[in-house]
Amino acid sequence: MPKEEFSGSVVRIERLLRHVAFIIKKRGRDILSDFEITTPQFLALVVLKDKPGITMGELCERLFLACSTATDLIDRMEKNGYLDRNRDPEDRRVIRLSITGKGKDIISQVINARRRYVESILAQLTQEEIDQLERSLEKLDALMVAGEV
């Protein structure tokens, strides 16, 4: 492909991604301000819901957080009743984390609020445009995830 065409796409897509990510972050923060959790707590709960019984080490890795930061986060969330910490019966040295009913409840509420926002945006597109957006985001996400490993 012509080199200038590719460079132009890189410049424009970098700007678009930066801008879209900024608005998503801002909207996410607005939505969370109606609930009693912070952005890192929300992200940790999403991981805990997907991976019940995850260890602390695995959680830090998935959140790209230093384990000292994640430990403080987990302490606060346990106190607030969003998660339980239990010793692995097979290996008592290992601590396993699991989300509580209260934790599940709060993330469903937050995700529903986020979906209502996305819905209000997508309602302004045709189904073909929506499908195209989904395909593009899927490819982008897969390549970004592969790049993180």
Q: Which is nearer to its own copies, 84 or 134 (CB)?
A: 134
Q: Which is nearer to its own copies, 72 or 141 (CB)?
A: 141
Q: Which is nearer to its own copies, 9 or 86 (CB)?
A: 9
Which residue intervals of 33-124 are DSSP H helices?
A: 39-50, 56-63, 67-79, 101-122
Assess 67 for contact with its own copies (CB under 8 A): no
Minimum distance of its own copies from residue 89's CB (angstroms): 33
* Integer Cα distance of 107 and 113 in angstroms: 10
**Alpha-carbon distance values, 69 to 41, 46, 57, 58, 111 (Å):** 11, 17, 12, 14, 24
Enumerate residues 76-135 that contact its own copies by CB under 8 A. Answer: 111, 114-115, 117-122, 124-127, 129-135
